[in-house]
Amino acid sequence: MLTIERTLEAADTLAPQAVRRKKRNPRPAWEEPPTVGGEAVKGLTLGVVLLVMVVPLWIIVVTSLSTQGAVNRAGGLVLWPDGVTFEAYRVMLEDTTVRTALLVSLGITAIGTLVSMAVSVMCAYGLSRSRSFAHRFLLTLLIVTMFVNGGLIPTFLVVTGLGGYGQWWSLILPSAISVFNILILRSFYSSTSADLIEAARIDGAGDWRILWSIVLPTSRAVTAVMALFYGVGYWNSFFNVMLYMPTDSEKWPLQYVLYTYVNRGNGMPGSVNSGFGTAFSQTAPLSLQMAVVVLTLVPLLIVYPFVQKHFRTGVLTGAIKG
Amino acid sequence: MTTATPTRPDRGTRPARQSWRVRLRRDRSLVLMTLPAVVLLLVFNYVPLFGLVTAFQEYDPLAGIWYSTWAGLDQFQRLFGDANFWNAVQNTLYLSFVQLVLFFPVPIALALLLNSVLSLRIRNFIQSVVYLPHFFSWVLAITIFQQMLGGAGALNHFLRNNDVGTWDVMTNPDTFALLVSAQVIWKEAGWGIIVFLAALAAINTDLYEAAAADGAGRWRRLWHITLPGLRGVIVLMLVLRLGNALTVGFEQFLIQRNAVGYDTADVLDTFSFYYGIATGDYSYGAAAGLFKSVISLLLIWGANKLAHAFGEDGLYRR
């Protein structure tokens, strides 16, 4: 399919050239020069905002890396590194509850995101060609669910009625798609150059081929952002665990393990003989707790910088307006 | 049905009207693509709508939805006579109101502030940082609050060391509304600025220049150009907030309900969960859920009417 590669190149040249990142907006000539007081207040406010966001994370990371001695000296959370050790992480990763939970979380996030993205991308493209068969009806079917839903209990009864209690799929399928995300994808796919698609069609490409070889490659940014949204949703989900598998502690994802610990004070992972009982007496309990918190943060912090730059490219703002 | 046109449809051009069979044949892959999503929505969104009949039954898990006894409006009668239910309604409305007052202006102010920062590098950096908590789970966010403000947290540690007594914010019912608002602000205010930044970027800078030439200072430009430019978005966000007045965040309250007590922290959603699922009184919980859904729909409709009255689009145009 040589022509498709050619049309893709054409798409690249058609796409607006990336504007060279400016360092600074020039201050417009008509604007008053900044006052010292004004700038100070502005800088101070933004500084406080940043500190409120960053300091708690800093304290948690530092505490998780602290020795028992450092925690004792600080009398609790550690503000400044004072004897760094990875002991808490070693103990944490040796604990089977946390290890299992980590695997469960990663698995659900990976499979769930894949399912959600496949279903959403197909649906969004299926609805994006104007005047296609029944697209108005199907679109209405989707949008209605944004305003009307059965609510918690009827949904619970349906999922359990289908035998979902304690099953992995009950953590993925009931909330696998977000209509809002589909609509965002659809608005992007609708704006994919119609000429490009027609050219491919004349070359004999079907809709599947067009979706895979033209539409998806030309909308990488929005795809990445949507995958992040879905992925974060799965990674963070804990209520559906509470609903559908509250008792199988070996199926709990990380967030639920963290939840049981938040909710029950120190009683780390629900079950008594989880290994944490002994772990607590050996190492700083606080640093161990903080290590679990950090563990739930790490995957997000790894992915976030790669996707975050696309927020700025108007992915979201365009979507919200469209 | 009608006679299909025998000619093969031309896939290049799509005339407005062809027989449905022709169009179905032409678009069969497109329809096929939407199928998985449609099936998921039918099973997990539309079927539960029929499940709402449980609100009018005395649902028995063993008998199932078809064989449970019909209860008519009994569940609702029980609901409206239940002090705990009205407590949840009251909490929901109160917390919703407090959050509206305390949270709503923050993203707007933050967006205005950020928009005035000229250095793009600093601006981008701040944006990356303030967006981040939006992606934290509520479990994580509340754990962080617990560690900072809880009884054994950083704040109380500091207070104790300076002999100022202790102040356990996390379990104090009196300050709970402030606490949850602070949590929402910390977690979502940064993310909330996206819409407002977009609206700010859409304001024509010529307007500012002309106003400045006419002698309007900073604050007058803010008042006469910036805020009118944001009006549409602000009204839209208000409409969304009013339409969701009965939804104040579910997981946030579920997690903290035990620490603060249900009489302060129970909102409609958690009420529906605790009475419906935790205690197995499914029909009762479904009735509470249905009550909430119906009022919410009315609120969305009303809020839109309000937006139209202000001459704005609101959620949908009319």
Q: How many angstroms separate the CA of residue B48 from the nearest CA in chain A?
A: 5
Give the per-residue pLDDT at A297: 92
Alpha helices in B28-132 (DSSP H): 28-41, 47-51, 64-67, 74-80, 83-103, 105-115, 120-131
Residues of B in contact with A126 (CB under 8 A): 30-34
Tokens for B96? 């919703």
pLDDT of B303: 87
CA-based nearest distance A56→chain B, Å:
7
Calpha distance A103→A98 (Å, rounded): 9
The 10s digit of each residue's pLDDT in B171-227 is 888 889 999 999 999 999 999 898 888 888 888 888 888 888 888 888 888 899 999
Token pair 């500084």 in the structure block, residue? A47
pLDDT at A23: 60
Report CB contact under 8 Å: B140, A159. Answer: no
Render B111-178 in DSSP notation, one character per residue.
Answer: HHHHHT--BHHHHHHHHHHHHGGGGS-HHHHHHHHHHHHSTTSHHHHHHHHTT-----GGG-GGGHHH
Give CA–CA dist B41/B43, Å, rounded. Answer: 5
For the CA atoms of A307, B99, A57, B146, what is the dihedral angle to 10 degrees? -140
Measured between alpha carbons, how far is B267 from B289 in angstroms, rounded to an integer?
Answer: 11
- Compare A21 and B170 and report the one with higher pLDDT: B170
Residue B148 or residue B166, greater confidence: B148
The CATH number given to A95-282 is 1.10.3720.10
* Distance from the B94 Cα atom to the nearest Cα atom in chain A, whole angstroms: 22
Q: Is A252 helix (H, G, I), strand (E, B) or coil?
A: coil
| pLDDT score for B33 | 93
* Spatial separation of the C-alpha atoms in residues B308 and B311, rounded to whole Å: 5
- CA dist B4 and B40 (Å) reads 32
Count of other CB atoms within 10 angstroms of residue B120: 14
pLDDT at A269: 38
CB–CB of B143 and A293 under 8 A? yes
Which residue among A52, A54, A119 places its CB closest to the CB of B40? A119
A205/A101 Cα distance (integer angstroms):
44
Closest-approach residue (CA) in chain A for B212: A30
CB contact under 8 A, B269 and A152: yes
Q: A174 near A159, Cβ under 8 Å?
A: yes
Least confident residue range of A116-125, A266-275, B240-249: A266-275
Q: What is the mean pLDDT of residues B55-84?
A: 85
Q: What's the DSSP call for residue B44? A: I
User: In the predicted model, is pLDDT for residue B14 greater than 60?
Assistant: no
Q: Say what the pLDDT of residue B180 is.
A: 92
* CA gap B166, B211 in Å, rounded: 53
Q: Does domain B88-309 have CATH number 1.10.357.140?
A: no
Structure tokens at A200: 């491919």
Q: Where are the domains of chain A?
A: 95-282
**Given an 8 Å threshold on Cβ–Cβ distance, is A49 in contact with B212?**
no
Question: Full-prediction pTM beyond 0.80?
Answer: yes
Distance from A228 to chain B by nearest Cα, in Å?
9
**What stretch of H or E contains B58?**
strand B57-58
pLDDT, position A195: 84
Which of the residue ranges A40-54, A223-237, B31-45, B142-156 would you say has the lowest mean pLDDT?
A: B142-156
Give A125's contacts in chain B (Cβ within 8 Å).
30, 33
> Which chain B residues are Cβ-neighbours of A235 within 8 angstroms?
137
Domain ranges of chain B: 20-42+54-70, 88-309
| Arithmetic mean of pLDDT, A247-271 | 69
Q: A312: pLDDT confidence band, cut at 50, 70 and 90?
A: low
**CA-CA-CA-CA torsion sign (A157, A162, A167, A172):** negative
